């Protein structure tokens, strides 16, 4: 049972394997604050159901017929839909992770994760946080740190760096606003400027890029993501 004040998180679940969907749905709906309102077996169906049900969070596999999870993510962002996106997949390859983050997903979790981690990932995405499997985060941070930066990056202002550091620690936009005594809109504007300067499409990608540039210590990002 949920309390009267507890908000139900409405979820679209997209995976082309019906048995996998059934298993994920079963453990998700053991949590009283989670409700799977629609299921899709391919990417195109996911887009149609997103328009029909307007869920809070889309949980997407990467490899699906007709449209991949990455393509669905791009479609969601291009249509400016207010949907949190958590990619739940078996793929732990760096190119997939980077492509997902570049497309604008809020999180990337492996299907081998503990169900409690997946449930918490959905809640975090719903509340505006970034989510990345800890092992993947360490691997990706290390890779980015080794890469030579070929394009110059415009310097971040002190405020932009302050806000990005709090974001790296896992603070939501609202929590950052409270911490700094500024409005949510101001936080959003600073993050938008930061994304542009870092050539990033998402909070997670911006944090990773900042780590690779030495702007944020890696340990902060690893703890917050």
Supply the CATH number for residue 175's domain. 1.10.10.10
Is the pTM here over 0.85, yes or no? no
User: What phi, psi does 183 have (nearest 5°)?
Assistant: -85, 160
User: What phi, psi does 100 have (nearest 5°)?
Assistant: -65, -45
Would you call 55 helix, strand, or coil by DSSP? coil
Please check the confidence at residue 214 and state whether its pLDDT lies above 70: yes
Domain carrying residue 215: 142-224
Distance CA(64)–CA(18), nearest Å, equals 12
Distance CA(127)–CA(165), nearest Å, equals 18
Boundary residue ending a domain (132, 154, 173) = 132
Query: Do residues 220 and 127 share a domain?
Result: no
Candidates 60, 203, 76; CA nearest to 118 is: 60
Would you call 163 helix, strand, or coil by DSSP? helix
Query: Do residues 122 and 156 share a domain?
Result: no
Q: Lowest-confidence range among 37-51, 90-104, 112-126?
A: 90-104
Q: What is the average pLDDT value for the chain, to the nearest integer?
A: 83
Would you call 171 helix, strand, or coil by DSSP? coil
Please check the confidence at residue 150 and state whether its pLDDT lies above 60: no
Query: Do residues 168 and 190 share a domain?
Result: yes
Candidates 17, 23, 60; CA nearest to 41 is: 17
Q: Report how many domains make up the chain.
A: 2
């Amino acid at each position: 049972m949920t309390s009267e004040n507890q908000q139900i998180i409405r979820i679209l679940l997209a995976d082309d394997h019906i048995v996998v969907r059934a298993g994920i749905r079963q453990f998700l709906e053991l949590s009283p604050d989670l409700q799977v309102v629609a299921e899709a077996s391919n990417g195109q169906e996911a887009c149609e159901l997103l328009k029909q049900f307007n869920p809070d969070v889309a949980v997407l596999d990467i490899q699906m017929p007709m449209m991949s999870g990455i393509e669905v993510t791009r479609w969601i962002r291009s249509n400016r839909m207010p949907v949190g996106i958590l990619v739940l997949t078996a793929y732990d390859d760096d190119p997939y992770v980077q492509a997902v983050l570049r497309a604008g997903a809020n999180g990337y979790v492996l299907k081998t994760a503990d169900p409690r981690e997946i449930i918490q990932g959905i809640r975090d995405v719903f509340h505006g946080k970034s989510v990345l499997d800890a092992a993947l985060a360490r691997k990706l941070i290390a890779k980015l740190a080794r890469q030579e930066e070929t394009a110059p990056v415009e310097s971040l202002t002190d405020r932009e760096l302050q806000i990005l550091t709090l974001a790296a620690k896992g603070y939501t936009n609202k929590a950052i606003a409270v911490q700094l005594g500024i409005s949510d809109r101001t936080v959003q504007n600073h993050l938008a400027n930061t994304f542009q300067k870092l050539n990033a499409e998402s909070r997670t990608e911006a944090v990773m890029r900042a780590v690779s540039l030495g702007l944020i210590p890696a340990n902060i990002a690893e703890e917050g993501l």
